Amino acid sequence: MALMQNVQVASSSRAILGSRWSLGIVFLAAALLAPFLLHKFYVFQMTLVLIYAIAILGLNLLVGFNGQLSLGHGAFFALGAYTAAMLIEHGGVNYAATLPAAGVICFIFGFLFGLPALRLDGIYLALATFALSVATPQILKLSVFETWTGGVQGLIVTKPDAPPGLPLTADQWLYFLTLGVSMLMYWVAVNLVASRTGRALRSVRDNPLAATAMGVNTAYYKTLAFGISGAYTGIAGALSAIVVQFVAPDSFTLTLSISILVGLVVGGVGWLPGAIFGASFILLVPNIAEGISKGLAGAVYGVMMILLMLVLPSGVSTPVRWMQRKFQAWAK
Amino acid sequence: MELFAQQVMAGLASGAIYACIALALVMIYQAIGHVNFAQGEMATFSTFLSWQMMQWGSPYWAAFVAAVALSFAGGMLIDTVVFRPIRKASVLSQIVMFVGLLAILNSLSGFIWDFTSKPFPTPLGSGPLSGFRFMGMHQAAMMAITALMLVLLYCFFRFTSVGLAMQAAAENPDSARLVGVRVELMIALGWGMAAGIGAVAGIMIAPIVFLEPNMMLGIMLYGFAGAVLGGLASPLGAVIGGFLVGLIENLAGTYIPAVGAELKLTIALAIIIVVLVVKPSGLLGPRHAQRV
């Protein structure tokens, strides 16, 4: 009897795995074909969705898996974007090499910001990071750094071409580059969450006291989470600088930080695939809102956010997971 | 010395504004345990309401009272319609709701009254207060009104049964409910009061910064800094914190050469972070002990 049960469990888990893979393959095929079928503008939009998805993934690692709240991830995004732009324009560095550089710098900054954040939780941390994101554009405009940052005007970044030999336009190439980076980042995040480090991060979120008693260094994992989260968002920022070809202080206001957070909550906190849904929401819904009423776009966007929270307090993850279960039951 | 006195007076005057906003923030924090990120937008909207009534020919004080009353009702309505259904939801969902509210109010003010700056009247004129060279009548009135509001709030919370019930509802909702306090009503009242105080603050600030939908963003940050500095749970602390932030902002801008006008918002950030790291409960906030 026990043996039968085991066999059943094994076969059903194989079916789950199978259906998951088949879903993944369908999505991947769609993602690979899309840039050849769609208009240039939509390819650009999809690239931006992927970039925001990376940033949301980073925020999710901090908020969803470590339980620390941040309203200031726009600052990491800005830091990554400026790192990439300055390295390309002033340092003559290859654009691809700026991504790891932005990751490292944002990791360090995140780790350092994580130190004061250790003493704060909940609403206090939200306030401190809120202040960080409000102050970011002002710091970027500082005249002391103007020769490097371009001050209020910002920096224009040269658009990279597709590597010679590939039959791709520059936009398609950037899309595939972003797709590759985001898949890599997603894979790293999934494995990180499943690893020993991931368990430590979650234990700190669920019960810091018990985690400490079990020998988890709470302070270390909290600052580490800030660092990793910063690195993810910084890489997203660097990609955005390359794709948008422009960085300026007023692109990194409070609105950006809030967008990333809204994307996280819409996608579902603590659910990694939600990043892509959240990113689509924050990019597409404002456009839809503008289509409904130009003057009232902000109000329509706000109403949509509030309605979504009233209907689905844990974001898109609830219906998507429900459909996934139905699909798996059907596939079995 | 002259410059110093002048800057101190200017600092106190802008401090009065921050104190008002900080006071409104503390009101909501006490009622629901959350920081209302839409507070500034609520205040702006209320100010536009009073401006509209004045455009229609209503006298200043009638518009003032009507705007405060409308805001009070509006605050209660927002709580009942939007926030009551998600009272048990996670902190994050609630923050998204605040953000949604902020977007709606900001967009509505811009849509109804457009984004151009409008001059706003003051009943006292802009002449200097007799005897003080560095302070205008309006600034002096602002400080007086802030002080008056603080005294009224103190008496309300200390001596009226509704005020005591509100404190009980915030402190321990379950026990409060058991002794017959209508917790939901108290929370809605807290929202109403916060919206009303915000309206007073907005109407007093508008003559100085000019009325436009985004007039509150920078001020909000200083209000936050003031509330954090004073301790998020203490109305008196919020007022002291607000005045201190005004002083620090003006003196640092004058005497620290690198700061100047360029880094004014960064000062607020620095204050918030330093306070939170050195003394998270603020100057007058109660110490939180955690049972382990």
Interval B76-134: pLDDT, tens: 999 998 888 888 777 777 888 888 898 889 889 988 988 888 888 887 766 666 556 66
Closest Cα in chain B to A286: B103
Contact: A306, B93; criterion CB under 8 Å:
no
Q: Which residues of B touch A258 (CB under 8 A)?
A: 99
Q: What pLDDT score does A75 carry? A: 94
Contact: B217, A134; criterion CB under 8 Å:
yes
Contact: B273, A63; criterion CB under 8 Å:
no
Measured between CA atoms, how close is B27 to chain A, in angstroms? 15
Q: Which residues of B touch A138 (CB under 8 A)?
A: 262-266
Q: Which residues of A touch B35 (CB under 8 A)?
A: 123, 126-127
B20 vs A105: CA distance, rounded Å: 40
A17 vs A11: CA distance, rounded Å: 10
Question: Structure tokens of A239?
Answer: 């990609």
ipTM at complex level: 0.76
Facing B269 at nearest CB: one of A131, A141, A269: A131
The answer for B 15-54 residues in CB contact with A (under 8 A) is 33-35, 37
The CATH classification of domain A14-331, taken from the options 1.10.3470, 2.120.10, 1.10.287, 3.30.1330: 1.10.3470
Question: Structure tokens of B127?
Answer: 């002449």
The answer for A 115-154 residues in CB contact with B (under 8 A) is 116, 119-120, 122-124, 126-128, 130-132, 134-135, 138-139, 141-144
Instruction: Give the residue from A124, A34, A64 showing the smallest Cα distance to A314.
Output: A64
Q: What pLDDT score does B262 carry? A: 65
Measured between CA atoms, how close is B39 to chain A, in angstroms? 14
Closest Cα in chain A to B260: A142
Q: What pLDDT score does B125 carry? A: 66
Most distant CA atoms of chain A, gap in Å: 76
Confidence of residue B206 (pLDDT cuts 50, 70, 90): confident
Q: What pLDDT score does B258 carry? A: 65
Weakest-pLDDT range from B55-59, B64-68, B168-172: B168-172
A65 vs A275: CA distance, rounded Å: 14
Q: What pLDDT score does A284 carry? A: 87
Q: Which residues of B touch A265 (CB under 8 A)?
A: 92-93, 96
A210 — contact with chain B (CB < 8 Å)? no
Facing A209 at nearest CB: one of B35, B273, B292: B292
The answer for A 90-119 residues in CB contact with B (under 8 A) is 116, 119
Question: Structure tokens of B202?
Answer: 């907005």
Helix (H), strand (E), coil (C) string for chain B: CHHHHHHHHHHHHHHHHHHHHHHHHHHHHHHHCCCCCCHHHHHHHHHHHHHHHHHCCCCHHHHHHHHHHHHHHHHHHHHHHHHHHHCCCCHHHHHHHHHHHHHHHHHHHHHHHCCCCECCCCCCCCCECCCCCCCEHHHHHHHHHHHHHHHHHHHHHHHCHHHHHHHHHHHCHHHHHHCCCCHHHHHHHHHHHHHHHHHHHHHHHHHHHCECCCCCHHHHHHHHHHHHHHCCCCHHHHHHHHHHHHHHHHHHHHHCCCCCCCCHHHHHHHHHHHHHHHCCCCCCCCCCCCCC
Contact: B277, A138; criterion CB under 8 Å:
no
How far, in whole angstroms, is CA B215 from its chain's centroid?
13
B259 — contact with chain A (CB < 8 Å)? no
Contact: B100, A295; criterion CB under 8 Å:
no
Closest Cα in chain B to A120: B276
Domain ranges of chain A: 14-331
Facing A310 at nearest CB: one of B85, B266, B276: B85
The answer for A 258-277 residues in CB contact with B (under 8 A) is 258, 261-262, 264-265, 269
Q: In this prediction, what percent of chain B has a pLDDT beyond 70?
A: 90
Q: Which residues of B touch A144 (CB under 8 A)?
A: 258
Contact: B225, A69; criterion CB under 8 Å:
no
pLDDT tens, N- to C-terminus, chain A (332 residues)? 444 444 444 444 444 455 566 767 877 888 888 888 888 888 999 999 999 999 999 999 999 999 888 888 999 999 999 999 999 988 888 998 999 999 999 999 999 988 878 877 677 788 788 888 888 888 888 777 777 888 778 888 888 888 888 888 888 899 999 999 999 999 999 999 999 999 999 999 898 889 999 999 999 999 999 999 999 999 999 999 999 999 998 889 888 888 898 899 888 888 898 899 999 999 988 888 888 877 788 888 888 888 888 888 778 888 888 887 887 788 76
Q: Is A41 exposed, middle or buried (0-12, 13-18, 19+ CB in 10 A)?
A: exposed
Q: Is B19 exposed, middle or buried (0-12, 13-18, 19+ CB in 10 A)?
A: buried
Compute the count of residue pairs across chains A and B with CB atoms less than 8 Å apart: 136
- pTM here? 0.83
A84 vs A45: CA distance, rounded Å: 20
The answer for A 290-319 residues in CB contact with B (under 8 A) is 295-306, 309-310, 313-314
B177 — contact with chain A (CB < 8 Å)? no
Closest Cα in chain A to B34: A123
Contact: A138, B266; criterion CB under 8 Å:
yes
Contact: A131, B272; criterion CB under 8 Å:
yes
Q: Which residues of B touch A211 (CB under 8 A)?
A: none
Weakest-pLDDT range from A165-179, B187-201, B215-229, B257-271: B257-271
| b/e code A272-310 from CB counts within 10 Å (16+ = b) | bbbbbbbbbbbbebbeebeeeeeebbbbbbbbbbbebbe
Residues B32, B83 contacting (CB under 8 angstroms): yes
B264 — contact with chain A (CB < 8 Å)? yes
B55 — contact with chain A (CB < 8 Å)? no
Closest Cα in chain B to A143: B262
The answer for A 226-255 residues in CB contact with B (under 8 A) is 254
Measured between CA atoms, how close is A119 to chain B, in angstroms? 6
* B-interface mutation test, from A62, A127, A266, most B Cβ less than 10 A away: A127
Contact: B107, A296; criterion CB under 8 Å:
yes
Q: Higher confidence at residue B292 or residue A305?
A: A305
